[in-house]
Amino acid sequence: MKHATSLLRRLTIPLAYLALMIVFTWPLAAHWGDSLALARGSDVWPHIWNFAWVRTALLDLHRSPYFTTSIFYPTGVPLAYHALNVFTATVSLPLQLVFGLVPAFNALMIGNLVAGACAAYWLARGLGLARGPAWLVGGLFACSPPVGAAFAQGQAELVSVFWLPLYCGLLLRGAGLRALELPAQGRGYLVGAGVAGVGSLLAIPYWTVSLGLFTAVYALLELVWASRWDGRRALARVSGRLAVVGATAGVAVLPVLWLMGRGLARAGADLGISGSGANDAVVASGSQDLLALFRPFPGGVDINQPHGANLGLGWTVLALAVLALALSRGPRRRSLWLWGGVALLAGGLALGPQLVLGGHLTGIPLPYAALAGLPGAAAMRVPLRLDTLLALCMAVLAGQGAAALLPRLPGRAAWPLLAGAGLLAFAEFSGSPRVLIQPEAQPFFRDLAAHPSPCLGDVRAPLADCDAVLELPLDGWSAPGLFHQAISRHPMLGGYISRHYPYPFPGDAPGVRQLVAADPAGLGADIFTPTPGSTAQAALDYYGVRYVVVHDLPHYGPQAANLRAVLDRLLGPTGQTADGLTVYTVPRGAGDAPILYPGAGWDAYEQGSGTAWRWTDGNATLHLGIPRAAAGAYLLDLQVYALDHPRTLIAALDGHELGRYPVAPSPGSAVSLPLLLPAGDHGLTLVSVEPAVTPLGDARALSLGYHAVTLRRR
């Protein structure tokens, strides 16, 4: 009986938080098996896909999940810089196996909110707060606007916030807090803090950076207090405790970084992240609007605006934090330096590189701008992610304000006022009922799942066996198509992840290019022999693009006629229409001839005065797809001419130089390249030694032009 009573007491807090989160996320709990929370955007699709992919990688393929070919087929994509949320996805595996993907995703979305609240409660209890104020801290943090906005957008990794209070609680228990006269309680907590710091990386690197900021402020204050009160020995003890955390994190992070590095290396991707104009635009829209921090009822506003974001702190939380500053005394007051300092640092950086006021960029530089040039800083594209650390600090300050206020109130009024403050904050944070959507999973995709593709983790030769899916229009279905891929377990062309990598395949490959662009003219005449149009259907089969799925073809828009022309030319009137989809199946064995098509560096096909040509910028690529039956020796004949003066052409096959050839101005030169082509994909580069120039009246940089490019057997 005593054990049952003790267990019930232990479960009281998490069960109370569970009830709170069910109300906070209502009506999701009533539709947890068939609906998803999504108020705006497309972010829910990659996050639910994460769960399915981690299951496939760990349980079916028995491999690292940091690289996949199940999206962005056939080249695949590294997932090291993607918000893969590996830890939560792994925890979801038993639920996926028992209940399915959507229920498991929803259970972990709500479960992570409960875990975040419980971790914040545990942190507050470690700071000496009574159960009531500590429970308030957990509720304020888990329901805070940054977390609520992430939930509304289906951003599962940003809902996995328990890492922040968990790490802080472990660090403060293990290393102590002199200002609060909180003693160090043992190395086990320090080791746990190091592991939790690395665990945050398995959710999203923003949490790891946030914890680094907290540690920096804590270490600075603790060292100052130690030197002022206890001398050099205390400094050594503080440094030693922090070293244990750092050493543990350093050891724990090595296998994670190794797996991430392997994923990047397999893709041939740059291990670094550099800034760009698009990146700067994301930073500007992802910065915190200063005025928005002080808006009332922040849970009821749309966080999106042209510049900056509308995430607020809430007036109730602000009022309680002010009470903490006004009423706290002694050690409790000194400890406010930690939470206030971290709040100012996180909040200041969340404002981004320049001040945003009322949705307008002021041009006033802020400290974040100084960090933008550091190596890897471009990965921090959304400064307002630091608002979550700010929300944790404000929740702790609010809890301390409530704890300071309660003893000053009459006994009967204290707890009703505390409950009233909590309800008022909840009303500020909740807004309207959550917007739910029902993800589409037409029978076609479920039927495909009966025969999963062998090419989810790696492509296999021949590619024709991969049976990939192309959903059209590609731009419109790259994000929601991720859910279809998770259901069908067949690779898809395109995708939507946190970081963007070059993906030229849909814009280059014959058949795919014309379908994606709805461009029947691309199936016509060209300077290449064989022409891309003549090998388009064979190319679809060769690259394993087996299913072309057109969404709502009768209402496709102004391009409907062009798309129908491409479909009729490539696949004929064979589409099967059902449930808003028209599905075309590419026939197998469509051809064994070689496939030749241009890649980067080629300008559009032009013709006039009885001739045709394509210009290049002097650094052009040709792709050659060689089926097994077509492997052998070939000649590539080039009719090439230089723009203005003789130039030198360097030809290389798969990175190996074939030779250097002089090229005269028009009418040009004939060059024949002997090629030995085994089965598979090959890349041939045609590079001019001399730089390209921009002719008068032409905006293009031009170097070499080609009248004909012919591939023939030797």
| Region 649-670 average pLDDT | 95
Q: How confident is the model at residue 126 (pLDDT cuts 50, 70, 90)?
A: very high
Q: What is the pLDDT of residues 490-543, one digit of tens each?
A: 999 999 998 888 899 999 999 999 999 999 999 999 999 999 999 999 999 999
274 or 244: which leads in pLDDT: 244
Residue 544 identity: G
Contact 596, 686 (CB under 8 A): no
Predicted pLDDT of residue 299: 66
- Backbone torsions φ then ψ of 373, nearest 5 degrees: -85, -5
Q: What is the pLDDT of residues 438-452, one digit of tens each?
A: 998 789 999 999 999
- Confidence check: pLDDT of 277 > 50: no
| Region 645-655 average pLDDT | 96
Predicted pLDDT of residue 1: 55
Q: Long-range contacts of range 312-316, CB-CB < 8 Å, 24 or more positions apart?
A: 312/145, 313/145, 313/390, 313/391, 313/394, 314/144, 314/145, 314/425, 314/428, 314/429, 315/428, 316/398, 316/421, 316/424, 316/425, 316/428
Compute CA distances 423 → 14, 22, 406, 446, 599, whole Å.
18, 15, 16, 44, 60
Predicted pLDDT of residue 424: 87
- Confidence check: pLDDT of 272 > 90: no
Q: What is the CA radius of gyration of the chain?
A: 30
Contact 688, 649 (CB under 8 A): yes
Predicted pLDDT of residue 360: 83
| Region 346-364 average pLDDT | 88
What's the mean pLDDT when you consider all of the chain?
90
Residue 188 identity: G
Type and span of the H or E element at 68: strand 67-68
- DSSP sequence for 649-709: EEEEETTEEEEEEEEPBTT-EEEEEEEEE-SEEEEEEEEESSPPB--TT--S-B-EEEEEE
- Confidence check: pLDDT of 5 > 70: no
Q: What is the pLDDT of residues 169-181, one digit of tens each?
A: 999 999 999 888 8
From first CA to last CA, the distance across the chain in angstroms is: 89
CA angle 291, 297, 300 (to 5 degrees): 105
Q: Which residue has the tokens 């030749």?
A: 596
Predicted pLDDT of residue 462: 86
Predicted pLDDT of residue 271: 46
Q: What is the pLDDT of residues 383-439, one digit of tens each?
A: 889 999 999 999 999 999 999 998 888 877 777 888 888 888 888 888 778 999 999
What share of the chain in percent tops pLDDT 90? Answer: 68
- Confidence check: pLDDT of 695 > 60: yes
| Region 276-283 average pLDDT | 56
Predicted pLDDT of residue 609: 85
CA dihedral 197, 495, 62, 263 (to 10 degrees): -60
Q: How confident is the model at residue 457 (pLDDT cuts 50, 70, 90)?
A: confident
Predicted pLDDT of residue 282: 66
CB proximity list for 662: less than 8 A, separation 6 or greater? 646, 647, 648, 649, 669
Ordered domains of the chain (ranges, CATH): 26-267+283-430 (no CATH), 445-585 (no CATH), 595-713 (2.60.120.260)
Predicted pLDDT of residue 276: 46
- Confidence check: pLDDT of 149 > 60: yes
- Confidence check: pLDDT of 379 > 80: no
Predicted pLDDT of residue 578: 86
Q: What is the pLDDT of residues 309-350, one digit of tens each?
A: 668 888 999 999 999 999 999 889 999 999 999 999 999 999
Q: What is the pLDDT of residues 34-78, one digit of tens each?
A: 999 998 888 999 999 999 999 999 999 999 999 999 999 999 999
- For the entire predicted model, the pTM comes to 0.92
- Confidence check: pLDDT of 592 > 90: no
DSSP bridge pairs for 633: 676
Residue 177 is classified by DSSP as B
Q: What is the pLDDT of residues 600-644, one digit of tens each?
A: 999 999 998 889 999 999 999 999 999 999 999 999 999 999 998
Q: How confident is the model at residue 207 (pLDDT cuts 50, 70, 90)?
A: very high
How many whole angstroms separate alpha carbon 299 and alpha carbon 146? 9
